[in-house]
Amino acid sequence: MNTKLDNICEEIKKYSSGIHQLNESATGEMIMVFEKRYNIIIPDSYKKWLKRFNGGELFALPVGTCFWGILGEAIRKKGELYLEDNFYEEKRVGVPENIFMIGNLCDGEIIGFDMNRTDKNDGCVVQYDVESGEIIQEWESLYLWLDFTFEEGKMLFDDN
């Protein structure tokens, strides 16, 4: 039986090389160490995503949705953002504490879980505009947001 994540992965495969630039998976140990170090519980839906893709970008050209991965013990790459950045004030300027940032759009808007409406299984994903200080849009789950992202991407690319 295909899971929601399997369906998303099948959708990713439909596009030609270079459209998506997704990183190798995070290990269960990396995720566990991250949760312990920062005293946070990542929703299971997002853990499954990280175990497939530890960061990267969907629809890399021309617009792109960046996913932040766990840096862990790796060396920080200049210009990249990581899940650890949630815990550094200088990386969170203008973002409310209840938003656990998991990515950003090409225009700088933040994608994250509203931790006030998130549990161990899944949660509310929001698109937050730092300039206006407002939530622009929200989805009831990670997979609903990913589905939305692919619907938008289909309008930009003829591969599908």
Distance CA 158, CA 128 (A): 29
Instruction: Quote the pTM value.
Output: 0.93
Residues in the chain predicted with pLDDT less than 50, given as ranges, are: 159-160
**Do 120 and 47 touch, CB atoms closer than 8 A?**
no
CA atoms within 13 A on the CB side of 143: 15
Instruction: Output the pLDDT for position 160.
Output: 46
Q: How far is CA 156 from CA 111, 124, 138, 143, 145, in A?
A: 20, 26, 22, 20, 17
Confidence at residue 37, expressed as pLDDT on a 0 to 100 scale: 97
What pLDDT is stored for residue 156 in this prediction?
A: 75
Q: Which pLDDT score is estimated for 112?
A: 98
Question: Does the 4-156 domain belong in CATH 3.40.1550.20?
Answer: no
| Segments making up each domain of the chain, as ranges | 4-156
